[in-house]
Structure 1
Amino acid sequence: MSDIAASGAPAPPLRLVAYDDCAELLKGLRAATAEAVGPWGFNNLPGGMRTMLNGAVPEAAQDTAAAKGADDQAFSGTNNHEAGVDEPDVVKTDGKRIVTLARGRLVVVDAASRKVTGTLAMDGASNGGKMAVGADQLLLAGDRALVLGFDYSNPRDGGPLLTLVDLAGAPKVLSTYRIDGALVDARQVGNVARVVIRSAPRMAFPQYEQSMDEEARLAANRAAVAAAPVEDWLPRWSSVDAAGKRTDGHVGCGAVQLPATYSGTSLLTVATFDLGAAGLGSGEPVSVAADGGIVYANGPSLYVANDQRWRVVGPMVKRGGPAPDPKTQLFKFSIAGPGRPKYVAAGEVPGWLLNQYSMSEWDGRLRVATTANDASTVYVLEQSAGTLAVAGQVGGLGKGEKIYSVRFIGTTGYVVTFKQTDPLYTLDLSNPAAPRTLGELKITGYSAYLHPAGDGRLIGIGQEASRQGRPQGLQVSLFDVHDLTQPARLAQFQLPGSGSAAEFDPHAFLFWPTTGALVVPVWGEQPSALVLSVHGDQITKAGTIQHPVRYSAMQRSLVIGGTLWTLSDQGLQANDLTTLAQQAWVPIV
């Protein structure tokens, strides 16, 4: 174990290097990639194991405040992490219409008439219909939708496919954009969307004779890296406008920055799109030579976290030797303006993050919660001369346990760790140089997602558990956090033998403060939407909603005026928000 990991001390500042010409960039890329390559390709993992281990699992979460449509009718938005920063999801609404994706089609439903008013096949029909396209997330800005998908038509060159759709009349494609790699996540502020992509070098390694040993394979692979041109690393993009005109390009050498310590296996690219423009254009891409899988943004700043987990798993799989201590690199971009984002800083902390809720920027400082070697710590990082340096930290959270949920609200932090019991820690972060633990609540089970409920209350959704730590079924808790030194649980609701997608995907969680309605999808004998009522210090069951198509998989819920809408893989259903009486069923497949 290293001294850093053992002491919880921060890692040295992480430095990014920019290159003005391709020759210097290529030299750095080749050197880092040659170090990272093994006899079986990248990361010493045979076959496709690296892809499996390094796959991005984007997480997201909700603006609790109601938005208002043109007719002043309140409606719920996506459950986003930060107010004013929208996250892609399977369904969106502007209070007048509901836009969703179902089996490769974009579907528009009028909220007033409760009828489908438009559909659009997301199959590349505008470009000859020759592509196999997956589309499962979207963003909405006025009469425009940005659909995030993947082009499967060419297994070798497939990658993220973005489609800009005009919703002013019958839905129609305005522009498409393709880029090498895999979609990590996206964020939207106003009409501007930032899309994060991770791409691997496209170099081809030699075919080997069965008799070749690993040393000979490694030498051949390093020779292939040494001969690869810089274009093998730079992501290629293509854009098509409404007239069918195609423009091709790639990320420029001057738009790539290289950390002093680089995995040599991936580039992270941030592309920028104005959803109000006539087309998607070039995306103005900028790249960092790094892996990464967790995105957080609060409006002026966007962070990408790279936990380099493959460095731990890879050697264990292939060599059986001791694994490196876990650590996470953090890359900060300024997105305060509408144009291309700017690199501003990078840093590194011990441990791994759980998800995007492990990060939060407040007053220009980033708070990060990580687990390393069965102990958890919250770090406060401050930007200084291009680095994110640790200004303060508080550790000792859940010794022998791992973080199960995190929420930062203003200058307060909440951390749940779990192994057999669920300590909920309350943290005072008002002094960045000296954050401290104020309180701890031990209960059975755990909360996998924490949601602010106002008036000094916090909602947790997760699993009840036995004293031995075995999950027993869905649990919703209402916590009193008025006094941070003495957090308490006011109420709980349990549904034995069940679970909810909201435990691992906060987009599936809806809390409507106006009425106290809390809605989550649940699974059991018959999938349904569970509707709870949160009032005062009580959680009570208001009812359940099921769709008429048996075994419909519930996905999301949203509120428009006095109507509760629920989305399944078969359709949308409208129910009265107060009585839960069914009002309409709208098939979408």
Structure 2
Amino acid sequence: MKRLTVNFIIITILLTLSLIPIFNTWDKTSNADINSNGDLPVVGSYKNLKSILADLEKSNLYLRRYTIQVMESAQVMTANEDVAVKSSADSAQGDYSKTNVQVAGVDEADVIKTDGKYVYQVNNNRVIIFKAYPAEEMKIVSVLDYFEEGFYPRDIYVDDKYLVVIGNSYSKMIPMEEPELKEDSEPKILIEPPFFQQDLLKVIVYDIKDKNNISRLREFEMEGYYLSSRKIDSSLYLVSNKYLDIYRILKTDQEVSPPAYRDSLNGDKISYIDYDKIHYFPDSVETNYLIIAGINLDDIQKEVNITAFLGSGNNIYASRDNLYVTLTKYDFEKSKKFIIKNPYIKKTTSIYKFKLNNGVVEFSNEGKVPGTVLNQFSMDENNGFFRIATTTGEVWRTDQYTSRNNLYILDKDLKLAGKIEDIAPGERIYSVRFMGDRAYMVTFKTVDPLFVIDLKDPYFPKILGKLKIPGYSDYLHPYDSNHIIGFGKDTIELPRKDGSNQSMAYYQGMKIALFDVTDVNNPKEMFVEIIGDRGTYSELLYNHKALLFSKDKNLMAFPITVMEVKDKKENNKLQYGEFSFQGAYIYNIDLENGFQLRKRISHLDDTDYKKAGLYDYNYNKTVERIIYINDTLYTLSKGMIKANRLDSFEEINSIEIPMPKQY
């Protein structure tokens, strides 16, 4: 453990020394629409920034925070082996599927989108556009290749007018110039700057009215690593984290520039967000900038709205009116004595709320709750109240600091309205789903309790019922107002090998369960489907966008890699399976018959399967998404798009996608 901690500190210092911004060569002006963001204090000047960060350094919080994270992760590894609602897919206008999103009307970027006739795919540093419908005429109509410009697309949005491509860009290897000094500034000692590269979040907007002649309308770049984005009608919102070089700021005389961005409306000119426009949260100072940008695509010539905070973000949730950014905080002063052998650091979640209005982002309120959140589904907004589920403590501990799970309800000002605490001690949250006046929470350690929680009175939430079953659910998806589908893993419980009386749960194949919560006091597991053996996995277990679901069409599909044990041994229940299938599983699902597997569609041919090893296959043919347009089902991998009839699943057509020339 000591070696792990020392190694991490060394790596942290080396990374700090290597990440020096290059934006000093840019024009220090700002043409963007920058908001005042309420009554938050501003950084004001570079001198003030150094003072704020110096206070942070004195407390050593930023270094101790990351050290503890590594130590806790290592201990967890030794304690655990792995351990009438309508779906957003049904809410699409027209008879074609849309990305499975958390909130209806709030689009989320994905690697594949369709507009009902064409399909758009992020594919090996390219975006490929197919004419997909009718399937008999399927063909590639355009390829946007970014290899030469050093842009790496990650996600896309598509609407009737625009294709929006979001990714990472890397600036040219150029040296820093001597910084501009103000008249009243004291002379500074400058050292020869090194050459290096800076990571940027980049957005490219295309006019796609003519699919054979797609034109690039606008580009926008801003510093930082891409955290997430949302698109609400024609408004696009982007969130990034930019690491601050605290060593260079505090230990050298070279001035570090404030956050920079480039908007093609202003050509190649680089703009900066002035320090008197950068705000900070007094109780949540970070060695990082949280940068949020908004673009109104309906007014494509309008300046970008950009705002920056001396802060950071871990997860985001967005309703149509508000954006919430959460950050894990480590309360060292309120924790027990810092003991390297078995530390306990109290963690809380800071919540930052921002108003969204046609591409304009404005800070609204700040709140805080105990514990940490799992992901975006741990949060929800309903009738002006913000609901959030957290886990406190550690699941691997058996003392008073063992894990406990909580649900908090905050009002519009992020003040506490109601709460339920100490749910399932010793377990942690694996999935949460908020549905109107109810919440469903899955916790896990050796069995899977599904909790049904009543939120009708936000000041007095209460647990209505729970169900304990083997396995766990990583993702919960609504079937209707009284039924919910859980996607996760099957598990078996075996005694620990350390001679204690405790047991451990070991995951097996993928598990799908349909729960009936009509009687909220007695939820029931109606149907269960187990796929494959130990080692089986699906992107759906960590990315909800991999699910295709339509209650109206009685359709459910997702990509999966199936591992099967060929020679099962009774005395070895922990055998890993061998590779047996990769592709899409397509189900009919209803309340009478449960899950009915209708078809397995793979892009691998017989030769591919014969070549596949125990754990290996042609990854270029990994099915990533399943979509439908009218009466046709499409499966897409990096190497192929295949069309099947939606009624009989008979194959209509398929085309192979060529690899880039540089591969």
Question: Which category of TM-score, normalised to the shorter sequence, fits these structures?
Answer: 0.7 to 0.9
Structure-2 separation of matches of 1:119 and 1:372: 48
Flag the 1:27–1:62 CA change in 2: closer, same or farther, 3 A: farther
Does residue 1:584 correspond to 2:653, yes or no? Answer: yes
Corresponding residue for residue 40 of structure 2: 17
Contact 2:43 2:279 in 1 (8 A): no
Query: 1:416-447 CA distances to partner (integer Å, 9 max, x unpaired)?
Result: 00011000000001111110000000000011
**1:132 partner amino acid:** G
Instruction: Identify the residue that residue 90 of structure 2 maps to in structure 1.
Output: 65
Q: Alpha carbons of 1:317 and 1:108: their partners in 2 closer, same or farther (altered >3 Å)?
A: farther
Residues 190 and 28 (structure 1 numbering): CA distance in 2 closer, same or farther, change over 3 Å? farther
Alpha-carbon distance in 1 for matches of 2:48, 2:657: 49
Equivalent residue number for residue 311 of structure 2: 290
What letter corresponds to residue 116 of structure 1 in structure 2? I
Mean Cα displacement is larger for which, 532-541 or 299-308?
532-541
Q: Secondary structure at the residue paired with 1:467?
A: strand
Structure 1 residue 570, shift from structure 2 partner: 1.3
CA, structure 1 residues 228+325, in 2 after alignment: closer, same or farther (shift >3 Å)?
A: farther
Q: Distance in 2 between matches of 1:485 and 1:277?
A: 51
For 2:46 and 2:289, the matched residues in 1 are separated by 17
Give, in whole Å, the separation in 2 of the partners of 1:418 and 1:16.
Answer: 42
The answer on whether the counterparts of 1:36 and 1:42 sit within 8 Å (CA) in structure 2 is: no
Local SS of the residue matching 1:142: coil
**CA–CA distance in structure 2, aligned partners of residues 557 and 526 of structure 1:** 16
1:81 aligns with 2:99: no
Percent identity (aligned): 25
Residues 345 and 535 from structure 1, CA distance in 2 versus in 1: closer, same or farther, beyond 3 angstroms? Answer: same
Measured in 2, the distance between the counterparts of 1:318 and 1:292 equals 28
- Correspondence list, 1:141-220, <5 A: 141-154=159-172, 156-169=197-210, 170-202=213-245, 205=248
What are the superposed Cα offsets for residues 360-415 of structure 1, whole Å, 9 maximum, x if unpaired?
Answer: 0001111000000111000001133xxx2111101232210010000000010000
CA shift in 2, pair 1:43/1:198, >3 Å: farther
Residue type at the aligned position of 1:424? L
SS of equivalent residue, structure 1 residue 527: strand
- Corresponding position: 1:462 with 2:488: yes
Matching of residue 135 in structure 1 with residue 176 in structure 2: no
Q: List per-residue Cα deviations over 1:346-368 (Å, max 9, x = no partner).
A: 11111110100000000111100
* Alignment TM-score, normalising by the size of structure 2: 0.74
Deviation at 1:454, TM superposition (A): 1.1
Offset at residue 122 of structure 1 (A): 2.5
How is 1:240-255 mapped onto 2 (pairs within 5 angstroms)? 240-241=264-265, 245-255=267-277
The equivalent of 2:182 in structure 1 is: none
What's the secondary structure of 2:90's corresponding residue?
A: coil
1:422 aligns with 2:448: yes
Q: Contact (CA 8 Å) 1:16, 1:258: kept in 2 or not?
A: no
**Contact persistence 2:171–2:197 (CA under 8 A):** no
Task: Give the C-alpha shift of residue 172 in structure 1.
Answer: 2.8
Tell me which amino acid in the other structure corresponds to 1:366. Answer: F
Higher relative contact order (CA 8 A, sep 6+): 1
User: CA separation of 1:365/1:254 partners in 2, compared to 1, >3 Å: closer, same or farther?
Assistant: farther
1:335-374 correspondence runs (5 A): 335=356, 337-373=357-393, 374=403
Match of 1:411 in 2: 437
Cross-structure match for 1:4: none
Q: By how many angstroms is 1:321 displaced?
A: 7.2
Q: Deviations over 1:129-172 (max 9, x none)?
A: 4x322112011232211111111355532211111122122223
Quick one: which amino acid aligns to residue 270 of structure 1? Answer: I
Q: Structure 1's 303 and 507: CA in aligned 2 closer, same or farther, altered over 3 A? A: same
Structure-2 change in CA distance of 1:264 and 1:318 (3 Å) = farther
Q: CA RMSD in A?
A: 2.9
1:501 corresponding residue in structure 2: 539
1:480 maps onto 2:516 in alignment: yes
Q: Give the match's secondary structure for 1:65.
A: helix
Distance 1:275 1:320, change over 3 A: farther
Partner of 1:520: 558
Taking structure 1 as the reference length, what is the TM-score of the superposition?
0.83
Distance 1:309 1:183 in 2: 23
**Which whole-Å CA distance do the structure 2 matches of 1:554 and 1:318 have between them?**
47
User: Alpha carbons of 1:331 and 1:24: their partners in 2 closer, same or farther (altered >3 Å)?
Assistant: farther
Alpha-carbon offset, residue 19 of structure 1: 2.4
Choose 259-268 or 472-481, whichever is displaced more.
259-268
Compared CA separation, residues 505 and 103, structure 1 to 2 (3 A): same
Partner of 1:101: 122
* Secondary structure at 2:540 match in 1: helix
Change (3 A) 1:267 1:95: same
Q: Residues 330 and 346 of structure 2 are in contact (CA less than 8 Å); yes or no, is this contact kept in structure 1? A: no
Query: Partners in 2 of 1:84 and 1:334 — Cα distance?
Result: 16
Aligned residue in 2 for 1:547: 603
1:178-203 CA-partner distances (Å, limit 9, x unpaired)? 21110000000001100001111245
Tell whether the 8 Å contact from 1:102 to 1:588 is kept in structure 2 after alignment. no
Gap change, CA 1:101 and 1:581, over 3 Å in 2: same
Unaligned runs of 5+ in 2: 1-37, 75-85, 173-195, 394-402, 495-504, 563-579, 609-617, 659-663
Mapped contact 1:107–1:588 kept (Cα < 8 A): no
- Mapped pair 1:377 → 2:406: yes
SS at match of 1:383: coil
Distance 1:560 1:344, change over 3 A: same
Task: Report if the CA contact (8 A) 1:16-1:257 is conserved.
Answer: no
Structure 1 pair 318/89, CA: closer, same or farther in 2 (3 Å)?
farther
Which residue identity does 2:268 align to in structure 1? R
Equivalence for 1:300: 321
1:531 is aligned to 2:586? yes
Tell me the secondary structure at the aligned position of residue 648 of structure 2: coil
User: Cα–Cα, structure 1 residues 515 and 431, in superposed 2: closer, same or farther, change >3 Å?
Assistant: same
Amino acid across the alignment from 1:499: Y
Task: Provide the residue aligned with 1:116 in structure 2.
Answer: 140
Q: Residue 355 and residue 450 in structure 1: after superposition, are their counterparts in 2 closer, same or farther (change >3 A)?
A: same
More strand by share: 1
Per-residue CA distance 1:305-360 (angstroms, 9 max, x = gap): 10147989xx999966734211111100000x214211110111111101000000
Pick closer, same or farther for the CA change 1:452–1:309 going to 2, 3 Å. farther
Larger CA Rg, structure 1 vs 2: 2
Counterpart residue number, 1:261 = 283
Give the whole-Å Cα distance in 2 for the aligned partners of 1:317 and 1:132. Answer: 45
Distance 1:192 1:316 in 2: 48
User: What CA distance in whole angstroms lies between the structure 2 residues aligned with 1:585 and 1:37?
Assistant: 58
* 2:54 and 2:250 in contact (8 A); partners too: no
**Structure 1 CA distance for aligned equivalents of residues 59 and 584 of structure 2:** 47
